[in-house]
């Protein structure tokens, strides 16, 4: 009779240890979530205006070396894109510097 009570008591103790571990892990996760939620967002030094739009007349694409590798800008009343090689020479542009030639239907 005593062995039966001892085995049942050991089973209850095992369940209690499991529940303690589960509760501890849940509390640790809740604390981590509360800590992360209270942390201020990272400042990546790029803040959009409150209107949700970013506007400019000239956008530059810079390489890791800090040199210009591309540009998106207005050429007169038309948008234009230019890509540069490592020496700064234009290797591609759209529309071409000579302008767009529309297709004529015959």
Would you call 81 helix, strand, or coil by DSSP? strand
User: Quick one: which of 74, 69, 78, 68 has its CA closest to 99?
Assistant: 78
The domain of 27 spans 1-36
Are the C-beta atoms of 80 and 68 separated by less than 8 Å? no
63, part of any domain: yes
The reply to whether 80 falls in a domain is yes
Q: How many domains does the chain have?
A: 2
| 106 residues of the chain, pLDDT tens digit each | 678 898 999 999 999 999 999 999 999 999 888 887 766 666 555 555 566 677 777 888 888 888 889 999 888 888 889 999 888 888 888 876 665 666 666 6
Task: Give a yes or no: residue 75 inside a domain.
Answer: yes
Residue 75 in contact with residue 92, Cβ under 8 Å?
no
């Amino acid at each position: 009779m005593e062995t039966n009570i001892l085995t049942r008591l050991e089973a209850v103790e095992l369940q209690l240890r499991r529940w303690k571990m589960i509760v501890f892990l849940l509390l640790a996760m809740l604390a981590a979530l509360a800590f992360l939620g209270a942390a201020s967002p990272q400042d990546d030094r790029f803040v959009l205006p409150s209107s949700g739009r970013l506007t400019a007349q000239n956008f530059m694409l810079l390489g890791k070396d800090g040199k210009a590798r591309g540009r998106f800008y207005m050429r007169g009343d038309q948008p234009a894109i230019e890509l540069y090689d490592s020496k700064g020479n234009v290797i591609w542009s759209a529309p071409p510097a000579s302008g767009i030639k529309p297709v004529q239907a015959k």
